[in-house]
Amino acid sequence: MALAMCEALPAMARRRLVLADDHLLVAQGVERLLLEYFDVIALVFDGNSLLDAIRRESPDLVIADISMPGMTGIDVMRRAQEEAIRIPFIFLTMHADSEMASRAICAGGSGYVLKNSAGEELLYAVQQVLEGKTYVTPTLAANAITTSQRRRRNLTDKQQRVLEYVARGLRSKQIAFELGVSVRTIESHKYAIMQELGVHGTLELVRRAEQEGLISPRA
C-alpha cells in the first residue's frame, strides 16, 4: 500500500497548504513530510493565526491540531464556514477517542488522523481528502461514524455551538458575546434545541445531549 500511496502523491503538487500546530517540533516534522507535495506551506501556531492564514493564502487544504491557543481547530473551521470559506480540514491530534473524531467530522472536517500514527497514514489521508473523500484513523472510524449518525439530529451548526457553550456553563449573555449575536437569538436557539431533545431545563438539556453524543461528557 505504501508504494501505491507514493505513486499517487505527486498529483498533489502545486497545491497550497496551511499547517497549524502549537508544538513547533510537530509542526516542523509534518512540514518536512509534506514539503515536496505542496507548492506553498504556511506554518502557524495558534487558532487566530490559522484563521488569518486561511483568509490570506486561500489554501487547498488545512491540517490542524484541535487543541491550540486562541481557538480550537474545530472553532477555526466553523469560523471559516461562517465566512463561506469552504476548505477541507484534516485534524492531526492526540485525541484518540471516537467521540472527538465524531465531533470533528460532524462539524465539517474531512479527515482525522492521530499524531502517533502520522507519516504514511497522514500522506494517505491527504490523498483521500484531496480526492473529495473522508478519512478517519481506522481504529476510530467505526465508532466515530456510529456516533456521528446518532448526533445528526436536526440541529444547525449554530445550535450545536450554542449547545456546546451551554454545556460549558456559559450564560446566554456570555454566549451571545462569543457568537456576536443578540441574547434573544441565543434564547431562541436554546428553546429550539430543547424542543428537539424534548427537555425543559438547562441541566436536563446538558444531560440529554451527553446521552445522545451531541457533546462530550463532563469530567
Domains along the sequence of the chain with CATH = 2-150 (3.40.50.2300), 153-211 (1.10.10.10)
| pTM for the structure as a whole | 0.63
Angle at 11 between CA 6 and CA 12, to 5 degrees: 95
19, 30 contact by CB (below 8 A): yes
DSSP helix/strand/coil, 61: strand
- Identify which of 85, 90, 41, 31 has the alpha carbon closest to the alpha carbon of residue 66: 90
Per-residue confidence (pLDDT) for residue 6, from 0 to 100:
46
Per-residue confidence (pLDDT) for residue 217, from 0 to 100:
61
Per-residue confidence (pLDDT) for residue 157, from 0 to 100:
80
Per-residue confidence (pLDDT) for residue 153, from 0 to 100:
60
Nine-digit cell string for 63: 491540517
Question: What parts of the chain have a pLDDT lower than 70?
Answer: 1-14, 141-154, 211-213, 216-219
Per-residue confidence (pLDDT) for residue 10, from 0 to 100:
52
Length of the chain (residues): 219
- pLDDT tens track for 169-189: 999 999 999 999 999 999 999
Q: 64: which strand partners?
A: 20, 91
Residue with cell 486562541: 70
- pLDDT tens track for 189-204: 999 998 888 888 898 8
Per-residue confidence (pLDDT) for residue 12, from 0 to 100:
54
- Alpha helices per DSSP H over the chain: 2-8, 24-34, 47-57, 73-82, 98-106, 120-130, 138-151, 157-167, 172-179, 183-197, 202-211
Q: Which residues contact 124 (CB under 8 A, 6 or more apart)?
A: 1, 5, 135
Residue with cell 458575546: 177
Percent of the chain with pLDDT over 70: 84
Q: Which residues contact 97 (CB under 8 A, 6 or more apart)?
A: 140
